[in-house]
Amino acid sequence: CDSSFLLTPLEDMLHEKQTYGLIVLDRREATVGLLRGKHIEEMAHLTSLVPGKQRKGGQSAHRFQQLRLIAINDFYTKIADAASEVFVAIDPKEFMGVFIGGPSPTKEEFESGAFLHHEIQKKILGLFDVAYTDESGLYELFDKLGEALQDLDVVKEKKFMERFMKELVNDSGLASYGEEQVRKNLEMGSVDTLLLSDELRKVRLTMTCGNCGNEEKKTITKKAGEDYQPGNCVKCGSGVKTTESVDVVEELSAIADQMSTNTAFISNDFEEGNQLITAFGGIGAILRYKTGI
């Protein structure tokens, strides 16, 4: 059967490239999955050989408990190996972190035991109580994540904006804003993180003169139901036509991808996020090095 569920809640806050790791486990079984964009995908399902709490005849209670603890530890290791193999293969820029679900104390034991690959262990974002540990448990875990994901997004956005504002205030030369300046820095490969406001609604037009062939580019704000009139050629005065229209967010994001630049979409739900759109035109950048632009 198809192990991918279409998810409607939270889809607006999950950009397609962002990927979260999901693990649901108890001492009987475990399931590893990915939350990518709007879909959950099961990646691995494991069952354990951990014996029940009732010991067999002829075994001392102490010996039985020792064997049971060894089996539990082995199962946690098996889960971690399967999860780490899946998560490490994802581009680190796209892998946002791991959520773990299950009963107590299983999920706490798994986290505190540091069974996961050390790079993945550092990205554990939260533990949640879930009743199921099969594929449906992944979906149950997702249902618990709404507030956590929203809070994480806002925290990350605030950190980006705090760093951006700090570089501006310190006049370090490591912050840039405005479309043209940021575009130039992007094309140079000097941008570490591109900051784009969620409220940015601009298109970049290419206007060509049918008489002399002169080409001009201009960025305008998109307005519903309104067509932009390009006017006349600045060189010969003849009429010009819009020959290309590109969404600025899509264009700058594409350049960022080509230059291995991180892109952060900033909401206006907090003060600094609102300042990005009102004071800086919705476009900012944290630079890798000074460029003087």
Rg (CA), the chain: 26
Judge if the upstream peptide bond of residue 105 is cis by omega within 30 degrees of 0.
Answer: yes
User: What class does CATH assign to 154-287?
Assistant: alpha beta
Domain residue extents for the chain: 4-144, 154-287
Q: Which CATH number fits domain 4-144: 3.30.420.60, 3.50.50.60, 3.40.50.300, 3.40.718.10?
A: 3.30.420.60
- Secondary structure element (H or E) that encloses residue 119, with its range: helix 118-121
pTM exceeding the 0.75 threshold for the entire prediction: no
CA dihedral 123, 117, 65, 126 (to 10 degrees): 10
pLDDT one digit per residue (tens) for the chain, 293 residues: 344 444 444 444 444 568 999 999 999 999 999 998 668 999 999 999 877 766 555 567 788 788 889 999 999 999 999 999 999 999 888 898 999 999 999 999 999 999 999 999 999 999 999 999 999 999 999 988 877 777 777 778 888 999 999 999 999 999 999 999 999 999 999 999 999 999 999 999 999 998 999 999 998 888 765 677 888 998 998 989 989 989 999 999 999 999 999 999 998 888 889 999 999 999 999 999 999 98
CA distance 119 to 113: 14
